[in-house]
Structure 1
């Protein structure tokens, strides 16, 4: 099966270059970018896709061995770009897709002109002088809850991840997205995500990179964004006024404006 079909690829906007690719985070799908992509379709060819196991992807293509690390998802990204014959793309990755983009750009640098990492984290676990935001006990408890009651975990955690308690509809949308994801695949994707360590991959990225750090992000605190900024060779760190972990939903205009400003400068 082609990567375009397997990953439910959607192409919007103007024909030809430049191209901007949007990649969603854990428990989400390409629909989560809709409020941001509307602001790019007049200037860019916009490419969206679903990670295998998410959204409208082909669930029969899911192979636990291939997706036992983020590398499998990064290979999917490279295959999508190859099938569409895309070069020098702008890759925008939210949450776990930020590191998936880092891996893909390190493997095939000529395919990427710039990266935008929204709420990135190269390692969620604290480690000596590195603060990822979670202890091993935190992660073990999270994964145990996922294993025992995925729907209950989704209902409890999605609003916390989203933040913005004064706008409960946002938490509800993320909860519903989590609940549409196949529980077995979601559990493995969570393990791969929260136990990953991609710190040594950061220096391999040569493309200019924008890091969008949210305020009061429970998943990727400021120290993590600052770490990514210090270890990427050519990066810019912008702290958004947006709170929570999903500015693509909670603050799409601010998110799009920050991306546009970055692209104008490069």
Structure 2
């Protein structure tokens, strides 16, 4: 069973340390998006990289439309990876929906995790006025899914540029577009549906693992308002607005990403907003 999971999720284990750091990619991405950031932690941590089923070099034969129709299926895979490697006190670093997937995994087995680090998370992409502005109307997201079905290459080109931001560095968008295009279009559309129509706002107050929310500047996918919502509704959370722009700081601004994660793990919290008992300090 363990070998099956190692192959299913194309798990790679690197590093010289004993404390595990598990890196969860965002939507449409494989584990290689983490290469620069993850490598910087290999001297002191056990670094674990993996692919979601349907992405990268995962086992496509393991894909189940029913299981992966919701984010819970992906969260179970995270737990399977932890079990297969017999991990404890895991530091989970998740980008975008990868952070929410990590949060869902921590709700199922909080004892497995010591920290949850989320880059640009959004618990709900749909606007729900007047209480919540997720950033998108239902018609916009439905149109996105329609474009994926009718013109996947065109969607990948458009969406990669939107997600990455940083138009002055077109090579970053091209890299992300290539990753989108290497994913099975049918699986990608179902993952998109599970991601963009999920509503995990009510799960946030139940998270018991100490958490860090890193929020990019000018992020059109997960706005500053959304980042603050995650922070204000997640117990034991810390929050930092990054100088990085766009939605993929681990790719566009890896040095800042590495520095802030390192500061958080070292307990150097002077520049972070904290939420411990319901009040910001």
Report how far residue 160 of structure 1 moved. Answer: 1.6
Return the alpha-carbon distance in structure 2 between the equivalents of residues 66 and 135 of structure 1.
Answer: 26
Q: Which structure 1 segments of 5+ residues have no match? A: none
- Determine the structure 2 residue equivalent to 1:205: 207
Return the alpha-carbon distance in structure 2 between the equivalents of residues 160 and 68 of structure 1.
Answer: 24
1:94 equivalenced with 2:92 (yes/no)? no
- Determine the structure 2 residue equivalent to 1:164: 166
- Determine the structure 1 residue equivalent to 2:193: 191
- Determine the structure 1 residue equivalent to 2:64: 63
Q: For 1:165-196, what per-residue CA distance to the aligned partner results, in whole angstroms no more than 9, with x for missing partners?
A: 01110000001110111001001100110000
User: Aligned pair count?
Assistant: 265
- Determine the structure 2 residue equivalent to 1:24: 25
Report how far residue 69 of structure 1 moved. Answer: 0.3
Q: For 1:200-233, what per-residue CA distance to the aligned partner results, in whole angstroms no more than 9, with x for missing partners?
A: 1111111110000000011100010000000101
- Determine the structure 2 residue equivalent to 1:241: 243
- Determine the structure 2 residue equivalent to 1:127: 128
Aligned to 2:69, the other structure's residue is in SS state: coil
* Root mean square deviation of aligned Cα: 0.9
Q: For 1:6-45, what per-residue CA distance to the aligned partner results, in whole angstroms no more than 9, with x for missing partners?
A: 0000000015x21110010111100000110121000100
Return the alpha-carbon distance in structure 1 between the equivalents of residues 145 and 168 of structure 2.
Answer: 28
Aligned to 1:91, the other structure's residue is in SS state: strand
- Determine the structure 2 residue equivalent to 1:146: 148
Aligned to 1:67, the other structure's residue is in SS state: helix
TM-score, with structure 1 as normaliser? 0.98
Q: Which structure 2 segments of 5+ residues have no match? A: 269-281
- Determine the structure 1 residue equivalent to 2:182: 180
Return the alpha-carbon distance in structure 1 between the equivalents of residues 252 and 46 of structure 2.
Answer: 24
Report how far residue 99 of structure 1 moved. Answer: 0.6
Q: For 1:66-87, what per-residue CA distance to the aligned partner results, in whole angstroms no more than 9, with x for missing partners?
A: 0010000000000110111101
1:214 equivalenced with 2:220 (yes/no)? no
Return the alpha-carbon distance in structure 2 between the equivalents of residues 99 and 233 of structure 1.
Answer: 15
Aligned to 2:141, the other structure's residue is in SS state: helix
TM-score, with structure 2 as normaliser? 0.93
- Determine the structure 1 residue equivalent to 2:41: 40
Report how far residue 88 of structure 1 moved. Answer: 0.7
Q: For 1:35-66, what per-residue CA distance to the aligned partner results, in whole angstroms no more than 9, with x for missing partners?
A: 10121000100000000000010000000000
